[in-house]
Structure 1
């Protein structure tokens, strides 16, 4: 087959001149309130997933090597005109000068048809709100709008993964089956979340701890942006999904299991006087009940009690550790904790009071292509990373002032004498007490904001935290004020991350791990959690008086913690920090306030350029950063779909690969500067008034 014949760069960028907030997530923001009145949650979920799926397929090159064709305007109008009226109506309403119709006849008499437009983070993306059609020209001509799973089946057919007969019989390869099942679950569970409303009213009137809990619920609604299977929590029934996902705010009573002191590994924050997690996260009543239960079983001196998620106790422990329980090594205690609440990461639990002590527990559900267990080796590496982060704060005054760290050194993991750190079974029975800086949850001037919440549009529209932020400052929403808030956020985010980069390290600052510390209307700093994913380059650490932490890496397995040079380290800033975290915030803010996405991307570029100049980098580092971040023709991209299909299930962290895509700053720089609107009212205001009437 021939490669895709694309319009020239000049054609792309000329048509992209008027790019506004019509990027991946806009279909879930600008017309969200109106769409929720006229479409079901299931339809909304399908649209959300279809956008992420099509864009992911394009940027990962699934259509490379096909004989797809870009239709001339006359051909496109003719083809669209043949659509049944009820299918063509939405396309006609979303006509835009830069859009192009792409058609791939993948089988005789069968074609896929989709409306595409130039993108910023990738060359081409689906026009938000448009559908993808299957066109049958043989026999009785027909059109059919495809749901995400149907689209993947057509693609597999077109790529001759299975034959048509095996497709109909459901006989796909294991990897294809794994991905299709994840799509199915993601669609079903996304609809459950969309059908629920997180109460985001009067946010700044709530206590700091309650505010944080609500923002975690908000962040959970989308999970990881741009990932078509992100919401799939495989292993949870619909009832369990309602009971254990953060957005539903259902209290969760934890179970307790006693594990032998002699068959346990503990964290850097656990000493010889250790009384276990209960000393940090259980009230006096629960502590008394645990003590009595241990004494009754004759285990008071030999065992320690650790909390277990009720789903894990019911489903995973009988599968993975049945022999340990039958042998009496591990013993279930008939004690339940006071209720806890799930956070956006599902296996991390928040207390229902203002305590600074949270929990992280293993859950053997399958999410993002990986099982969510909690292995001791990860927590050991997290202790090593925490030590480096504390050293970084000592070596940089701004980091000392504004980089906040969770204490993740208090952890306990079952480790039988014959087991290794890399065995599967023990990693299903462990617990971490994650302690937040207490002042951030008790001082009413502070607010903790998971950055994922800023990049998650509410399905019903009508609210973004920037609304609360502006109101706190007594400002009206306008082009200038909203852009100003985004610039402040970027300034805080990039200053701290680039200062860490200068020292030879980068945290995994996607929207779930990076928490904005907001103090009385100002960006005060960043709070980091999940320290086990700190990426480093040892030569640069040594230049600044730090040493190789000697991470524990499984022999023969890929390593994502060590990098040979700073250029390789930048991969994580370009992908997780910008292409996922900040991009989602741009798309959501642009959609909510009807501000051009190009403006926000240009604002980010200006902030990065300014920080490169202001931070005391060497001349070589400044050149590297400008070259790789601002001037390079293309960027690395973290593949999402193909790695899930290739792994075809199994243990391990989230599977990923590396590809190449556009440099968003170069794409924006190539567009013609746009006129600055004077005042831009909230795009969904009228629809929201109707929706909430």
Structure 2
């Protein structure tokens, strides 16, 4: 039967009221599924105009019948977003108001080979909902912890130690695109409280003594941090001459570690120390921990869990360590040729690492630059997070450094960010430097506020080999210098895709839409700011035919549509064989170009 309009607007057949967290999650999930055209929502659906606004009608199969989704305007990465937290079954007017119900209905429309992915995503949603509720009820508790460890006023959290407090705030904020980013598959509440950044815990690492011959340390053991314990300090003095210690995250103990040792044939020769040593604090990425006694030193450790999708495992494949070091060396070459960025672009050192040939037996020793103790070091991911007291982090920073004007802070950030990233594009380089991988470094200098950008995680770039050779000549690395062949391409397209989905969408567009949502300025003004600053950076590259700026103008500024990450499809819903994703973090669909609306 056809559902009458009053049922569609919710005046009959009411389901029990959902909690705020449930409604928020379902709207985000429906929006992501619509954006990624899951089961043909976009391409097979028909938009119907109803008295309360537009609805999408998706023709369906015999078991389910047609489905109806209330639509609202989006504009960020899709034309439409979900307007209400529900999906309606047209045949009987049933209102599906939970992620379980919605994914079950949509899963019925999917190819049978894909249905396990819908079930997995439903579990991902359940875990995310539990985490969201946990965050809600522990907000005051965590704010008290931050006040005790870092001080009561967020605008006084300085240095890399203060940055850990901002990581805690960012970990309680949703990802701009991925709807279930706050969930970590398989972890219990007690484990989140003990090891997740949103609780600002401190814990000690465990250590595994591994035969030296089984461990790769490219720079030699002397390059490892001075805090590295010896087997003797771990109570394994009889192994001092033959073994080297590797850190193990407590969450990797048990079955994951046993399986890794079995896979590498080390189960008899590697010895787990009974002693926990070296106090650490989790950073925003969770698997990366800061050494409490030396916040400049971060250790990236593999975890046997997933975030941002079932297939997005938090392990560390040894080849990525090679690529991270190679990426850093490449960026150092560019910085040496671009002295105007010498004081404004900072890089973490990622050249020291060790592994024993398995994705759970590895560590990256990341060292941050010195001299940041008097600066605010704030991950971009924290800017729209509420600080203790309820004000946004960006407002607190703007009050301290930009006369209370958050748009002035955003303007300064975009100017430097676009200048650097377009310069890299001119060399044929695109970085996967999303909000979590860039920190703002703010302080007061002799000439007023100084803004710098601090980058980390260089293991997943995309490089146009032709453009790189043209600009760096003999200094250009060869593809053989990296482990992942997907890094290199013979044209700009992969670099453009990465530039757009990471730098433009996540590091610029999301703040325009986010600040507009928070009422800081009209959306058109914020989008005009993004477009103007990007256009200025593009012009500096040159926009004549064949010049790099021409590609950015054509494919980003003036394109009718822009690439959009299909993160749910590639990360959980579909197998790689079904999605065709060569890289689940670089699998795309398309969305509207919101920069076109800023053209004056």
TM-score category by the smaller chain? 0.7 to 0.9
Q: How far, CA to CA, are the matches of 2:426 and 2:279 in structure 1?
A: 43
Q: Which residue of 2 aligns with 1:600?
A: 526
Q: Tell me what 1:194 maps to.
A: 136
Q: 1:221 aligned to 2:177?
A: no
Contact 2:401–2:443 (Cα < 8 Å) also in 1? no
Residue aligned with 1:339, SS:
strand
Distance 1:50 1:461 in 2: 28
* Contact 2:205/2:279 (8 A) holds in 1: yes
Counterpart for residue 118 of structure 1:
73
1:44 counterpart = 2:20: yes
- 1:404 aligned onto 2:346: yes
- Indicate the SS of the match to 1:517: strand
Rounded Cα–Cα distance in structure 1 between residues aligned with 2:306 and 2:583: 10
| Residues 116 and 124 in structure 1, CA contact (< 8 A), matched pair in contact too | no
Q: Does 1:437 align with 2:377?
A: no
Partner residue, 1:483: 407
Question: Does residue 450 of structure 1 match 2:407?
Answer: no
Gaps of 5+ in 1: 1-38, 81-98, 163-170, 416-425, 674-693
Please, what is the CA RMSD of the aligned residues?
3.1
Deviations 1:285-334 (A, max 9, x none): xx47x4344653x2111111121101112341022214768753211112
Higher relative contact order (CA 8 A, sep 6+): 1
**Structure 2 SS opposite 1:508:** coil
SS at match of 2:488: coil
Contiguous gaps of at least 5 residues in structure 2 = 1-15, 147-151
The equivalent of 1:687 in structure 2 is: none
Distance 1:616 1:68 in 2: 42
Q: Choose which of 335, 338, 349 in structure 1 pairs with 2:289.
A: 349
Match for 2:455 among 528, 531, 534?
528
Q: Aligned residue pairs: how many?
A: 563
Q: Equivalent residue for 1:249?
A: 200
Match of 1:86 in 2: none
Greater mean alpha carbon deviation, residues 427-436 or residues 102-111:
102-111
Residue number among 38, 44, 47 corresponding to 1:70 in the alignment: 47
Residue aligning to 2:11: none
Q: Is the aligned partner of 1:134 residue 2:88? A: yes
Q: Cα–Cα, structure 1 residues 311 and 261, in superposed 2: closer, same or farther, change >3 Å?
A: same
Length-normalised TM-score, structure 1: 0.74
String of CA shifts for 1:618-645, please: whole Å, max 9, x gaps: 6622322211111111112221122222
> Partners of 1:293 and 1:470 in 2: how far apart?
47
1:337 matched to which residue of 2?
Answer: 277
Residue of 495, 505, 516 corresponding to 2:429: 505
What residue is the counterpart of 1:144 in the other structure? 95
Q: Are the counterparts in 1 of residues 261 and 267 from structure 2 also a CA contact under 8 Å?
A: no
Distance 2:179 2:481 in 1: 32
In structure 1, what is the equivalent of residue 592 of structure 2? 662
Partner of 2:508: 582
SS of 2:232's partner is helix
SS class of match (1:659):
strand
Q: Of 398, 401, 420, which aligns to 1:470?
A: 398
- 2:440 pairs, out of 516, 530, 534, with 516
C-alpha separation in 2, matches of 1:530 and 1:428: 18
Closer, same or farther in 2 for the Cα pair 1:272/1:568, shift >3 Å?
closer
CA shift, 1:101, in A, is: 3.0
User: Contact (CA 8 Å) 2:326, 2:482: kept in 1 or not?
Assistant: no
- 1:564 is matched with which residue: 464, 483, 490? 490
Structure 2 match to 1:106: 60
CA contact (8 A) 1:260 1:302 kept: yes
State how far apart, in whole Å, the 2-side matches of 1:532 and 1:65 are. 34
Is the 1:507–1:531 Cα contact (8 Å) retained in structure 2?
yes
Where does 1:228-239 land on structure 2 (aligned, <5 Å)? 228-239=179-190
2:479 paired residue number: 550
SS at match of 1:256: strand
The whole-number CA distance in structure 2 between the counterparts of 1:635 and 1:121 is 10
Contact 1:209/1:354 (8 A) holds in 2: no
Give the TM-score of the pair, scaled to structure 2. Answer: 0.85
Call closer, same or farther: CA 1:237–1:337 in 2, change over 3 Å: same
Counterpart-to-counterpart distance in 2, 1:194 and 1:616 = 49
How far apart are 1:71 and its partner, in Å? 3.0
* Conserved 8 A contact 2:565-2:588: yes
- Decide whether aligned partners of structure 1 residues 66 and 626 sit closer, same or farther in structure 2, where only a CA change above 3 A counts: closer
Deviation at residue 601 of structure 1 after TM alignment = 1.3
Alpha-carbon shift at residue 55 of structure 1 (Å):
1.9
Distance 1:243 1:648 in 2: 34
Shift of 1:581: 2.9
SS in 1 for 2:241: coil
Deviation at 1:663, TM superposition (A): 1.1
**2:306–2:312 Cα contact (<8 Å) kept:** yes
Q: Residue 237 and residue 453 in structure 1: after superposition, are their counterparts in 2 closer, same or farther (change >3 A)?
A: same
**Aligned partner of 1:539 among 463, 466, 471:** 466
CA displacement at 1:180 relative to structure 2: 2.3
Contact 2:96 2:102 in 1 (8 A): no
